[in-house]
Amino acid sequence: MNSVFIDFFYPGSVCIVGASSKPKSLGYELTKSVKQYGYTGKLFLVNPKSDELLGYKCYPSIESINEKIDLAIIIVPKQFVEESVKQLINKGTKALILITAGFKETGKEGEEEEKRILNLIKDSHVRLVGPNCMGIINTLSSVKMNATFVAEEPQNGRMAFCSQSGAIGAAVLNSLRETDIRFSQFISVGNKADVNENDLLEYWEKDENVSVITFYLESFENGEDFIKYFIEDKISKPVIIVKGGRTSSGMKAASSHTGAMASSDKVVDAILNQFGIIRADDLNDLFNTAKGFEDFSVPKGNRIAVVTNAGGPAILTVDTLEKNKLSLANLSDSTKTKLREIVHPQGSVNNPVDLLPGGTAEQFKSVNEIITKDENVDAVISVFVEPVMVPALPVIEGINEIMEHLYGKSNKPIFQVVMPLPEFREQYRKKSKTKRSLFRRPEDPAVVIGNMLKFKNRPINVKRLQPLKSKIKIDENGKGKFLSQEEVMNLVNEYDLPNVRTSLLKYEELKTKEFKFPVVLKAVGEKIIHKSELKGVVLNIRDKSELIRIAGEMIKDFNQKNIELDSFLIQSFIKTKFELLVGSFRDPGFGQMVMFGTGGKYVEYLDDTVMKSAYLSDSDIDEMINETKIGKILNGVRGEEPADIEKIKSAIKSVAQMMLDHKEITECDINPLVVTEDNNIFAVDIRIKV
């Protein structure tokens, strides 16, 4: 385990540089939080204007502390930050948290100041959290460190939570008494000048006091490195992420907030889904899912039974099942027979099982016990709306008792939704023997179960494409430009892409060359990108005279548009059955991405594409095809013969391999990849940009 991160989360001594005697100031409130939470190590306070603060001795300077400092928390005004960092480096402190704001997030001047601090630490093996963050927590009884400026007292759990936003972190901590969220560790990383989500992912995977890893992120610092932990099967724990900035406006807000550029939301969605990382829609789903992993066993499958005393909430539960790839279990006849002995005649023994508002604690317990023994059921969602005549606590505790009895013998969890009278929550916190997590909304358990199954079914030990050494070297001097047709053809041959018979000729050469008609004529030039829009493509030319005439008209037309036409591409005319797209691009965060879907000139409007990281597995390629509408058609519909899917998969794999081998390629677009009537495939238009 990285010893620097042990200093962050398990420090034997903490120094607060900028501890203040002014109540309500950050330096005072953070010091107060450390004291009140009961930190078990040594605490050193640096404040040249005070001798003592909250019962602790104050030191006039960092140099005046004669003992070792494991973790330093800096809350001084910005103009004193650099000097404080220098003194801590000289002191030998390796773990620094910079709370002070006003750096990269404020603009160019702040960014330069942040760089100077990074230059100070980079050669000294010091790690820095922040700047512009809110601190760190470890709830373990042997540490008991709450070094934040939030007054709440977090309870110990098994979840680690990293928040890029200090305000989000504060809001979560402020709500602990209401939400019953429990942490093992918490950290706010702010601008991520040095320590980022990749460091924490690696560290928390190895920390035995952490079983679930969660993040609120507004950007990925190095997305390609992040996913390599999953590609290389280095992560065994559930990882749950809320990614802020889903919309273009949200991305802009995230960028101005932390000074970081964000990947598009579609890329983030594709990446997290591909590598079995759970993406929560919001903080509620994130913490509910974390509670799911901490308090419940993962169901064997997706067959869910619903027990309720209220029809409306049960309907909302059932509606959410399908969205999360779950299904209503078909209860066995034997189960229904047993249920009829308990359920009111006007209730229902079908799934959902309805006990009606008068359903008692004994009935709820008996019904849940019977259903958990049904072989057709993988998990139960029990929804209880508290009526005046049936108190909630006995109902909930009765079902919790089933869970305590079942564990060790069965892995059929019961997720309880309780919609109680106001006083219930406090009663449950005080009187429950298990304090097992409960859910507030009828939609919540389906989301949690779906996420748990996503983790269970994540790809493990999967063979993926990896970068190989290519024989072809691409000239990077032409950055921002498309490769010439000759350079494209070299790559086509190297990666065995299914190219149509092609000739690249000048206008005069058209007159002397013999062709097998019909052919397609395409204009070629540096600025001729979207040929159809510029009327630079003519199909089904049937003889030589027509070819020469059309080429001449193209030259005249492009001259009038002031666009240089260098040469012509002549291709055999192919009778098209389907037009596909195989595209790729380099994302600034996650690296090389590959896309498949419906092609042709309406590709943007049809919006029938799926993308994934170029680190593809065979199952990834199958998913790319099967998740598109065109993929379903290619597999054969209405009695049509299926297309040659293996050839299409080969083309996708070739493009992905080319992208991994050539990081200098920023875009590759095969549009269309044509499927012919006789089930061949041809790439009739290939553009590659560096």
- Backbone torsions φ then ψ of 520, nearest 5 degrees: -115, 135
Please check whether residue 688 is in contact with residue 494, taking contact to mean a CB–CB distance below 8 angstroms.
no
Q: What is the pTM of this model?
A: 0.91
pLDDT in tens, 275-316: 999 999 999 999 999 999 999 999 999 999 999 999 999 999
What's at 158, amino acid-wise? R
CA distance 87 to 60: 13
Please check whether residue 167 is in contact with residue 192, taking contact to mean a CB–CB distance below 8 angstroms.
no
- DSSP-derived 3-state class of residue 80: helix
Q: Kindly state the tokens that stand for 244.
A: 């802020």
pLDDT for the residue 252: 54
pLDDT for the residue 456: 97
User: Does 265 have pLDDT greater than 70?
Assistant: yes
User: Does 409 have pLDDT greater than 60?
Assistant: no
Location of structure tokens 């081998």:
661
Of 235, 253, 233, the C-alpha closest to 244 is 253
CA distance 11 to 97: 13
User: Does 407 have pLDDT greater than 60?
Assistant: no
- Backbone torsions φ then ψ of 299, nearest 5 degrees: -60, 155
User: Does 255 have pLDDT greater than 50?
Assistant: no
Q: Which residues contact 194 (CB under 8 A, 6 or more apart)?
A: 118, 121, 127, 128, 129
The rounded percent of the chain whose pLDDT value lies above 90 is: 80
pLDDT-wise least confident of 204-213, 399-408, 471-480, 651-660: 399-408
User: Does 640 have pLDDT greater than 80?
Assistant: yes
- Which letter does DSSP use for residue 103 in this model? S
pLDDT for the residue 444: 98
Q: Which domains does the chain have, with CATH numbers?
A: 3-291 (3.40.50.261), 296-456 (3.40.50.261), 505-567 (3.30.1490.20), 576-689 (3.30.470.20)
Q: Kindly state the tokens that stand for 379.
A: 């998990």
Q: Which residues contact 89 (CB under 8 A, 6 or more apart)?
A: 120, 121, 124, 126
- How many CB atoms lie under 10 A from the CB of residue 118? 12
Strand 52-53 versus strand 56-59 pairing type: antiparallel
pLDDT for the residue 214: 98
- How many CB atoms lie under 10 A from the CB of residue 349? 18
CA distance 276 to 201: 14
Please check whether residue 332 is in contact with residue 323, taking contact to mean a CB–CB distance below 8 angstroms.
no
Of 244, 105, 114, 220, the C-alpha closest to 171 is 244
- Backbone torsions φ then ψ of 114, nearest 5 degrees: -65, -40
Q: What is the mean pLDDT of the chain?
A: 93
Q: How many CA atoms lie within 13 A of 690 on its CB side?
A: 16
Q: If you average pLDDT over residues 242-261, what whole number do you get?
A: 57
pLDDT-wise least confident of 122-131, 542-551, 581-590, 634-643: 634-643
pLDDT-wise least confident of 129-133, 411-415, 565-569, 636-640: 636-640
pLDDT-wise least confident of 224-233, 336-345, 633-642: 633-642
Note if the bond before 518 is cis, omega within 30 degrees. Answer: yes
User: Does 13 have pLDDT greater than 80?
Assistant: yes
CA distance 241 to 230: 14
CA distance 509 to 661: 35
User: Does 254 have pLDDT greater than 50?
Assistant: no
Of 451, 460, 437, 459, the C-alpha closest to 326 is 451
Query: Rounded to whole angstroms, what are the CA distances from 328 to 315, 333, 446, 582?
Result: 12, 15, 11, 38
User: Does 126 have pLDDT greater than 90?
Assistant: yes
Q: To 5 degrees, how large is the angle CA 325–CA 243–CA 6?
A: 110
User: Does 272 have pLDDT greater than 70?
Assistant: yes
Q: Kindly state the tokens that stand for 46.
A: 């640096």
Q: Which residues contact 549 (CB under 8 A, 6 or more apart)?
A: none
Q: If you average pLDDT over residues 647-655, what whole number do you get?
A: 97
pLDDT for the residue 263: 63
pLDDT for the residue 262: 45
CA distance 227 to 270: 12
User: Does 249 have pLDDT greater than 80?
Assistant: no
Query: Rounded to whole angstroms, what are the CA distances from 553 to 97, 480, 503, 530, 538?
Result: 68, 30, 20, 18, 11
pLDDT-wise least confident of 123-137, 524-538, 593-607: 524-538
Q: If you average pLDDT over residues 623-650, what whole number do you get?
A: 93
The rounded percent of the chain whose pLDDT value lies above 70 is: 96
- The torsion defined by the Cα of 202, 205, 210 and 215, in degrees rounded to 10, comes to 50
Of 159, 223, 213, 164, the C-alpha closest to 592 is 223
> In which band, very low, low, confident or very high, does the pLDDT at 480 lie, cut at 50, 70 and 90?
confident
- Which letter does DSSP use for residue 477 in this model? G
E strands, 460-575, where? 502-505, 519-524, 537-541, 567-572
> In which band, very low, low, confident or very high, does the pLDDT at 408 lie, cut at 50, 70 and 90?
very low
Please check whether residue 220 is in contact with residue 226, taking contact to mean a CB–CB distance below 8 angstroms.
yes
Of 483, 567, 564, the C-alpha closest to 522 is 567
Where residue 537 falls (left for φ over 0; alpha for ψ -120 to 50; beta otherwise) is beta
Location of structure tokens 């997590």:
437
What's at 455, amino acid-wise? F
- How many CB atoms lie under 10 A from the CB of residue 513? 12
Q: Which residue has the higher pLDDT, 606 or 657?
A: 657
Strand partners, 371: none
Q: Kindly state the tokens that stand for 316.
A: 């909302």
User: Does 502 have pLDDT greater than 90?
Assistant: no
- Backbone torsions φ then ψ of 250, nearest 5 degrees: -65, -40
pLDDT in tens, 141-169: 999 999 999 878 999 999 999 999 989 99
CA distance 355 to 242: 37
Q: Kindly state the tokens that stand for 77.
A: 């005004």
Tell me the CA end-to-end span of the chain in Å, nearest whole number: 40
pLDDT in tens, 77-117: 999 999 999 999 999 999 999 999 999 888 889 899 999 99
